[in-house]
Structure 1
Amino acid sequence: MDEEFQSRLEARVARLRDDTGLTGVVVAVMADGQLAGLAASGERRRGSGIPVTVDDRWHVGSITKSMTATLLAVLKDDGRLSREDALPALLPDIQMVGGWDACTLHHLLTHTGGARANFPIRVQRVWPDTAEELVAARRGFIADVLRKNPRSPSGARFAYSNVGYTIAGHIAETVTGTPYEALLRERVFAPLKLGGAGFGPPRGHTPHQEPTGHAVRLRWFRRSADPFRTRADNSPVMSPAGAVHMTIVDLARFGAAHLAGESASSPPLMPRAAWERLHTPFLEDYASGWVRVEREWAGGPVLWHNGSNTLWYALLMLLPARNTVLAFATNDGAIRVAETAFIELARELGS
């Protein structure tokens, strides 16, 4: 890493944290496939005095959707399924009403399948003890959804859906016979060497070994969500829609794999055409686990996704024209504050 750039990034991230009051902040920059800068500032738990580090793990929320879409693309490349396969063929053992007959995997991954936004609140009371029980619980909630007609005809309207991505994740575990979580580790995390990746809130051997998420109360008050005392996340039933945690370097490496898919002659995991399909929007700016927009400051397209379980916030950006990946995370639920600050810094780094 360039020492001058690294020093400037460290100072800028420290200032960002001071200006926003976020509990902890971490940023990684990759350029031309190499780590160009890495900085962290703030605390693992508010008021603890224990600093966050660049090696800590961070909950990335709905950026998980890009990972789920990547997994399905890998399985498609294996010949296990097709994006054009419809739900009755992909989930033949689930009884569903006819309104889902036209819904394909492509529709689920582009939020155009007509699935509702979220499961009923009772899903948050479901925390299975084993992988087998988790798959069964996920299947049960999905079956309940598919017994009712979609909210809109498939392919007709964009409507962001955690349910749709949970269905997509269950399709992966159905066609392979392997639970989604194990499958994502095996087919995406391991080949890309994302060694710090896991599911749910980061949890070390002791309470202060990893950052904890923080709920915002009355604008300024923060309440730490200790994973040793509370669930501190959404139910694992929804894992394919937003339960992954990882280090900020892992997040940047995941982004670098997608960036290589935009231009490399031999990208990782699958052929370039498969990556391009993942990055192609449908109906609106949403592709498959990515938003794709044009930005003058980035010299062309920006592919991005963010995520939050209300206790954390993360943002991942790819700048193909700059051959740069920008990864940001905070263990703070002040989502709008974090998003505004991260986008401002992204413009500085990408210009």
Structure 2
Amino acid sequence: MTTLATTVVLVAGGAVSASAQQAPVTSDDSAVRAALQRVVDSGAPGAFAVIRDHGNPGLDRSLAIGKADLDGTPMNTDWRFRVGSNSKMFASVLVMRLAEQGRIDLDKPLRDYLPEGTLPQSWPITARQVMEHRAGVYDHTNNLLEQSGEETTDAFEKRIRNNVYEPKDLVAMSVKRGPQYAPGGAYAYSNTGYVLLGMAVEHLTGRPYSELLREQIFEPLKLRQTSFTVPEKGIAGPRITGYLTNDDRSKPLLDSTEQTASWIWSAGGVVSSASDLDRFLTALLAGSSGGLVSDDSLRQMASVLPTNTAKISYGLGLREITLSCGKVLGHGGIVQGYQTQTFATPDGKRTVVLFANASNNGAVTQSLTNTLEPAFCSKSTTAPAPRRSLKGNKSSSPFVPAVEDTRI
């Protein structure tokens, strides 16, 4: 594996509405470092922020705190890690490309684009509703992790680390629960929905999902540190060790680096690096000039609707967060041992990739999310301390809601 030495420079060309307020082009480095320190103080071995200002490389920053593993290796912003639900942006790109080709209609029943019997004939859900998490699809991961009554670390060893699931079996777990609400009637984050999208992509093309990612995204963008190798358990090349926090905080962190990721598949199985995530998101927000999706597809992806959380909206595989200095677009991801926030200004001129190598810890999640504010915005204000914060561990940046499920 080779580390990308250059940063792609692309301009969105108006693909995203110019009315979206832009964040300043300077970050508060001392506040970013302090925010990352709070991530480590909350229980992560290490954390980092990679900030890229395209067109003005002199403003680029790579700030790392703590360790890449418990053996004491310093955190490295160039190494690979599991990106979790950032994978949903990749899945959405493949779907939008099929829509551009007329091979899928986002507003017709998704069942028509899936292997027969995948979804009941009575289910009218569309690809657009699924991409927006508004289809009422039960999230199968609740079955595997059993949020109530069982330790997450125990569930990981029993059903996640070594188990290999077929995508159709993940969907079957969800279908048994039936629709959770009328399609389009509410917002409820569902990993199963993005498994369905991956299945649709395979069914319509007759090609394996991993090959489509490689040929349509990884290779054209030269994402040399990005891969989708489910169900292979290891991460090739230099990589950061991921740690699952024990529910019993008196027990040591569990090395969860090796896992099949088949339980999450197209919804969260991508492995990448900060430089590659920057390159990908910059190309995506460039619309037609970025080579991934058309300007019209990008407009649809970035047309967000409110969620149940203040300051958070969601489009087609893209999340929008309102910061004190403007709106940012991207996604977050949590998968056992790793969590990442990948966001950019709507014009794609500035990207921020935040990372911590611990999960199953709400304080780590909240502290990492709060780092978005100083990374994009130059001023700092008093804000609530992260959940489960340590004594005296107060945040100096505006509070940003953590919307990811802290188990995943």
TM-score (norm. length: structure 1): 0.81
Instruction: Indicate yes or no: 2:130 matched with 1:108.
Output: yes
| Seq. identity, % | 23
Work out whether residues 9 and 37 of structure 1, in 8 Å CA contact, stay in contact via their aligned partners in 2: no
Range that drifts further, 165-174 or 196-205: 196-205
> How many angstroms apart in 2 are the aligned matches of 1:224 and 1:328?
22
Instruction: Indicate yes or no: 2:248 matched with 1:203.
Output: no
Structure 1, residues 324-351: CA drift from partner, whole Å, max 9, x if none? 1110111112543333333333212212
Match of 1:287 in 2: 315
Match of 2:203 in 1: 174
Pick one of 268, 273, 280 that aligns with 2:296. 273
> How many angstroms apart in 2 are the aligned matches of 1:68 and 1:16?
32
Range that drifts further, 184-193 or 18-27: 18-27
> How many angstroms apart in 2 are the aligned matches of 1:157 and 1:13?
33
Pick one of 358, 367, 374 that aligns with 1:332. 358
Range that drifts further, 150-159 or 336-345: 336-345
| C-alpha spacing 1:43/1:276, structure 2 compared with 1 (3 Å) | same
Instruction: Indicate yes or no: 2:273 matched with 1:247.
Output: yes
Match of 1:347 in 2: 373
Moved over 3 A (4+): 4-21, 122-128, 143-149, 199-202, 218-222, 231-234
Q: Indicate the structure whose relative CO is greater, using CA pairs within 8 Å and at least 6 residues apart.
A: 2
Work out whether residues 133 and 187 of structure 2, in 8 Å CA contact, stay in contact via their aligned partners in 1: yes
Partner of 1:308, secondary structure, is strand
Range that drifts further, 236-245 or 6-15: 6-15
Work out whether residues 13 and 41 of structure 1, in 8 Å CA contact, stay in contact via their aligned partners in 2: no
Partner of 1:273, secondary structure, is helix
Shift of residue 246 of structure 1? 0.8
The 5-angstrom pairing of residues 1-351 of structure 1 reads: 15=37, 19-32=41-54, 36-46=60-70, 48-94=71-117, 96-100=119-123, 102-119=124-141, 120-121=143-144, 124=160, 127-128=163-164, 137-143=166-172, 145-146=174-175, 149-199=178-228, 203-204=235-236, 209-217=238-246, 218-219=248-249, 221-225=251-255, 227=257, 231-232=258-259, 234=261, 236-261=262-287, 266-282=289-305, 284=307, 285-295=313-323, 297-298=324-325, 300-320=326-346, 323-333=349-359, 335-351=361-377
Match of 1:131 in 2: none
Flag the structure with higher strand content.
1
Range that drifts further, 336-345 or 306-315: 336-345
The residue type equivalent to 2:341 in the other structure is L
Flag the structure with higher helix content.
1
| C-alpha spacing 1:125/1:53, structure 2 compared with 1 (3 Å) | closer
> How many angstroms apart in 1 are the aligned matches of 2:225 and 2:95?
21
Shift of residue 17 of structure 1? 5.9
Structure 1, residues 228-262: CA drift from partner, whole Å, max 9, x if none? xxx5364x14211112121111112222123323x
The residue type equivalent to 1:319 in the other structure is T
The residue type equivalent to 1:52 in the other structure is M
> How many angstroms apart in 1 are the aligned matches of 2:234 and 2:35?
22
| C-alpha spacing 1:125/1:14, structure 2 compared with 1 (3 Å) | closer
Work out whether residues 9 and 39 of structure 1, in 8 Å CA contact, stay in contact via their aligned partners in 2: no
Partner of 2:331, secondary structure, is strand
| C-alpha spacing 1:66/1:39, structure 2 compared with 1 (3 Å) | same
Range that drifts further, 279-288 or 164-173: 279-288
| C-alpha spacing 1:312/1:221, structure 2 compared with 1 (3 Å) | farther
Shift of residue 176 of structure 1? 0.7
Range that drifts further, 112-121 or 240-249: 112-121
Range that drifts further, 218-227 or 147-156: 218-227
> How many angstroms apart in 2 are the aligned matches of 1:21 and 1:242?
23
Range that drifts further, 341-350 or 17-26: 17-26
Shift of residue 40 of structure 1? 2.7
Work out whether residues 140 and 173 of structure 2, in 8 Å CA contact, stay in contact via their aligned partners in 1: no
Partner of 1:288, secondary structure, is coil
| C-alpha spacing 1:335/1:320, structure 2 compared with 1 (3 Å) | farther
Partner of 1:328, secondary structure, is strand
| C-alpha spacing 1:11/1:165, structure 2 compared with 1 (3 Å) | closer
| C-alpha spacing 1:99/1:159, structure 2 compared with 1 (3 Å) | farther
Partner of 1:327, secondary structure, is strand
| C-alpha spacing 1:270/1:17, structure 2 compared with 1 (3 Å) | closer
Unaligned runs of 5+ residues in structure 2 are: 1-5, 7-25, 145-157, 308-312, 378-408
The residue type equivalent to 1:317 in the other structure is F
Unaligned runs of 5+ residues in structure 1 are: 129-133
> How many angstroms apart in 1 are the aligned matches of 2:28 and 2:279?
18
